[in-house]
Amino acid sequence: MAGLKELRKRLVSVYSTQKITTAMKLVAASRLRKAQSALENNKTYGNLIENTVKRILVSYQKDWIEKKIQHTQPPILIQNENPQSYLLVVFSSERGLCGSYNQNVAKFVAHRFNLLKAQGKTIKLICYGKKAYDILKKDFAEHIIEHEPSFASGGIFYEEAIDMLKKIINNQAQMQFDVCEIVYSQFHSALTRKMLSEQIYPLNVTLDFSKDADLDHIGSAYFDYKPSREEILEVLANKLLDNRVFEAMLNAEASEQGARMTAMDNATQNAADMIDELTLKYNTLRQSAITTELNEIISGAEAL
């Protein structure tokens, strides 16, 4: 009967674990839906800003081709021809129980770090999220200049992206970097994610003149800008930068919750399989104990 008692305790324990993993799965699913909704809404806003920036850059390029007029671009758009120092800003999670999500982030950071180091670059790291920091500090402690809690701990807010950028760009001279990249997990679905390292400073706007040449007009109507193209471009370039960082934060949040939901779903299923196995063992052992007792009773009765 001691075996039965032990099995009962294990069953109770696994049932309790299953309830916890089920609840965590539901919470992660709810947060994932919110992050996905925010991503979809933000995508339209970001596309509108980027198209307007491209539209002005196309008009600049046409002025140079047709009139040899060279326009000055905002400092945030001026690329460094030979960057030597890089700042990698890493987004990971504050808590575990999300499968291999944080390990994949740290592995990609290490790969990017070694790639830049092989090119003779100097690299510094800022970690947002405890888990990637705990992994990276083992090999890159001397390169980590700062580590902060994950943004996702209390929800994602647009103001956080702005504050983070102000902190980084205002301290550019102190941090001594030519290029700043964000390393994050781009969300595709709860099961699939893609690690990216995206340059955010200087802001990189890809312009294919052969495809984007018609952006500055619709039919025979051309766009006009008030107060001026220069002022509008500077404002929108900064807003585009804010939006890209915010989008990276949303992708990281969605990726984390998708990974956690999947991990908790697997844990719940494993718990169910374990419960079935333990229940079968318990019933087999109980049936064996009952059979033994019946045999003893019958043997005793025959002896009388």
The reply to whether 7 falls in a domain is: no
The reply to whether 297 falls in a domain is: no
The reply to whether 274 falls in a domain is: no
Percent of the chain beyond pLDDT 70? 95
- What's the mean pLDDT when you consider all of the chain? 88
The reply to whether 22 falls in a domain is: no
- Residue of 80 and 301 predicted with greater confidence: 80
- Residue of 149 and 297 predicted with greater confidence: 149
- Structure token pair of residue 231: 């002022």
| Separation between Cα atoms, residue 6 and residue 3, nearest integer Å | 5
Look at residue 303 and tell me whether its pLDDT is greater than 70. Answer: no
Please, which contacts does 8-11 make with residues 24 or more away whose CB atoms are closer than 8 Å? Answer: 8/282, 10/278, 11/275, 11/278, 11/279, 11/282
Count of the separate structural domains present in the chain: 1
**CA 218 from chain center: how many Å?**
37
CATH of the domain at 83: 3.40.1380.10
**Rounded average pLDDT over 265-286:** 91
Q: Which domain, by its residues, includes 153?
A: 32-261
- Residue of 1 and 285 predicted with greater confidence: 285
pTM for the full predicted model: 0.86
* pLDDT value of residue 23: 95
pLDDT in tens, 52-62: 898 888 888 88
Look at residue 260 and tell me whether its pLDDT is greater than 90. Answer: yes
| Separation between Cα atoms, residue 244 and residue 240, nearest integer Å | 6
* pLDDT value of residue 275: 93
pLDDT in tens, 114-156: 999 999 999 999 999 999 999 999 999 999 999 888 876 667 7
| Separation between Cα atoms, residue 260 and residue 155, nearest integer Å | 16
The reply to whether 289 falls in a domain is: no
* pLDDT value of residue 157: 84
If one counts every other C-beta atom within 10 angstroms of the C-beta of residue 245, the result is: 25
The reply to whether 133 falls in a domain is: yes
The reply to whether 102 falls in a domain is: yes
**CA 268 from chain center: how many Å?**
24
pLDDT in tens, 73-117: 888 898 888 899 999 999 999 988 999 999 999 999 999 999 999
* pLDDT value of residue 33: 92
The reply to whether 225 falls in a domain is: yes
pLDDT in tens, 247-256: 999 999 999 9
89: closest CA among 153, 35, 186, 164?
A: 164
pLDDT tier, 304 (very low <50, low <70, confident <90, very high otherwise): low
- Residue of 282 and 256 predicted with greater confidence: 256
Look at residue 2 and tell me whether its pLDDT is greater than 70. Answer: no
pLDDT in tens, 156-191: 788 888 888 888 888 887 788 999 999 999 999 888
Look at residue 302 and tell me whether its pLDDT is greater than 70. Answer: no
